[in-house]
Amino acid sequence: MTRVLALTNHKGGVGKSTSATNVAFGLCGVMRRMGTPNNRILLIDTDSQGHATLLTTGRNDFGTDNSLYTVLMADRQQAPQVMASCIVQSAWDPDLHVLPASPMLEGAERELMGVAGAPYRLADPLSRIAPHYAAIVIDTRPSFSLMTEMGLIASTDAIVPVEPRYLETVGLMSVVDKIANIREGWRAPHLRISGLVVTKMDTRVRGHNYLLDELKQHPTLGRLLCGVIPANEAVSYAHRNHQSIFAYDPHAPAGVAYLKLVGSLIQRLFKVGA
Ligand SMILES: Nc1ncnc2c1ncn2[C@@H]1O[C@H](COP(=O)(O)OP(=O)(O)OP(=O)(O)O)[C@@H](O)[C@H]1O
Ligand SMILES: [Mg+2]
Q: Is the pLDDT of residue 273 over 70?
A: no
- C-beta of 229 in contact with ligand 1 (< 6 A): yes
Q: Which CATH number covers residue 134?
A: 3.40.50.300
In the predicted model, what is the mean pLDDT of residues 239-253?
97
Q: Is the pLDDT of residue 63 over 70?
A: yes
Tell me: the pLDDT tens digits for 124-181? 999 999 999 999 999 999 999 999 999 999 999 999 999 999 888 888 989 999 999 9
Domain that holds residue 95: 3-270
The b-or-e profile of 103-136 (16+ CB within 10 A means b, else e) is ebbbebbeebeeeeebbbbbbbbbeebbeebbbb
Residue 69 to residue 51: CA distance in whole angstroms: 15
- C-beta of 27 in contact with ligand 1 (< 6 A): no
- Structure confidence at residue 272 (pLDDT): 60
Question: Could you list which residues have their CB under 5 Å from ion ligand 2?
Answer: 16-17, 51
pTM as predicted = 0.97
- C-beta of 231 in contact with ligand 1 (< 6 A): yes
What is the tally of structural domains in the chain? 1
